[in-house]
């Protein structure tokens, strides 16, 4: 179920004439079994949740496409990143894969590093949260967790089985059952991609959200305020970015392309605020589906977002 990291996955351009400041991701990634660097990539090769949610399969190869796009990006503050390989999901083994991925995330968190999950369907979110919760429990930390999800969808579905559409309902139920305060903020949610039942559930569960039509550069201050207020109320933040939050032209390689979508440049600035809080403990990028991508646009965007999170988190790292 766990596929070890492979150095051959990381290759790209080398600029020897430019010296030591011309380095790229493939030159700072080290393939390992356990985390020693301040940041650790953990792939979640899975689209079982997407399939159960009646979506377009293909996110299984998301982590591989993401590594390929990431390999050639230049590094700035980033010195070293661990790649811990992939947890892969066999058919019908979603819950087991989520538990296995959560165990890796938890181990990384206990080591003091920040795990960055490479999706995989958005069912990755329940695993990331579970790993964070378990890692904190092991450290005797019962602090409140804030979850920030950039997404066109709430993913609060009530389905009996876990899918890519249920993780945040599962998270909030898990938190309630385990005496953990968890607050969920969903940014970019669309009125035309979520039923009234889902908005009602969001209200019942105390979820805060910002509609896609309000996730605009001219509302930057209000968005920043929303994030700062959440960061002020909690001890730990979990950031998850669903690529279907972005316009279909920018991110065609997803299960459910967005008709409107939100501005990636705006999301990056908000991501900077999240990493600058110093409270980011785990992050992931979900729903990369290379099967439907065009010119690797979605993979490039996903890679840029991972790099943005990593650069921000690295400059905050205690290590």
Residues of this chain that bind Mn ion (CB under 5 A): 122, 151, 153, 155, 242
Distance CA 9, CA 30 (A): 11
- Looking at beta carbons only, is 82 or 123 nearer to Mn ion? 123
Smallest separation (angstroms) from Mn ion to the CB of 121: 8
- Looking at beta carbons only, is 39 or 262 nearer to Mn ion? 262
Smallest separation (angstroms) from Mn ion to the CB of 103: 23
Question: Residue 47, class by beta-carbon neighbours within 10 Å (0-12 exposed, 13-18 middle, 19+ buried)?
Answer: buried
- Looking at beta carbons only, is 111 or 166 nearer to Mn ion? 166
- Within 8 A by CB and 6+ apart from 201, the residues are 154, 156, 158, 169
What helix, strand, coil percent values describe the chain, rounded to 5? Answer: 45, 20, 40
| Closest to 150 in 3D by CA, of 218, 49, 223, 64 | 223
- Within 8 A by CB and 6+ apart from 68, the residues are 9, 296, 299
Distance CA 93, CA 88 (A): 10
Smallest separation (angstroms) from Mn ion to the CB of 286: 6
- Looking at beta carbons only, is 121 or 146 nearer to Mn ion? 121
Smallest separation (angstroms) from Mn ion to the CB of 119: 9
Smallest separation (angstroms) from Mn ion to the CB of 211: 15
- Looking at beta carbons only, is 153 or 281 nearer to Mn ion? 153
Structure tokens at 107: 């181990």
């Amino acid at each position: 179920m766990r596929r070890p990291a492979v150095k051959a996955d990381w290759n790209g351009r080398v600029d020897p004439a430019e010296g030591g400041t011309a380095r790229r991701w493939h030159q700072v990634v080290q393939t390992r079994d356990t985390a020693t660097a301040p940041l650790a990539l953990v792939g979640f090769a899975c689209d079982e949740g997407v399939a159960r949610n009646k979506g377009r399969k293909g996110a299984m190869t998301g982590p591989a496409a993401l590594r390929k796009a990431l390999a050639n990006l230049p590094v700035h503050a980033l010195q070293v990143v661990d790649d811990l390989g992939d947890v892969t999901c066999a058919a019908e083994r979603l819950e087991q894969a989520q538990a296995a991925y959560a165990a890796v995330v938890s181990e990384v968190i206990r080591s003091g590093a920040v795990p960055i999950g490479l999706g995989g369907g958005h069912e990755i979110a329940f695993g990331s949260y579970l790993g964070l919760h378990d890692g904190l429990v092991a450290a005797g930390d019962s602090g409140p967790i804030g979850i920030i999800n950039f997404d066109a969808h709430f993913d609060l579905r009530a389905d009996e089985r876990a899918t890519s559409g249920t993780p945040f309902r599962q998270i909030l139920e898990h938190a309630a059952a385990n005496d953990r305060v968890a607050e969920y903020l969903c940014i970019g949610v669309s009125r035309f991609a979520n039923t009234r039942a889902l908005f009602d559930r969001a209200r019942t569960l105390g979820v805060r959200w910002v509609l896609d039509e309000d996730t605009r550069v001219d509302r930057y201050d209000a968005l920043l305020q929303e994030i700062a207020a959440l960061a002020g109320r909690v001890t730990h933040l979990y950031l998850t970015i669903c690529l279907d939050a972005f316009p279909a032209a920018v991110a065609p390689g997803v299960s459910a392309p967005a008709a409107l979508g939100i501005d990636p440049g705006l999301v990056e600035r908000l991501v900077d605020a999240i990493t600058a809080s110093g409270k980011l403990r785990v992050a992931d990028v979900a729903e990369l589906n290379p099967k439907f991508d065009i010119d690797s646009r979605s993979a490039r965007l996903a890679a840029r977002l991972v790099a943005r999170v990593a650069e921000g988190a690295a400059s905050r790292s205690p290590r």
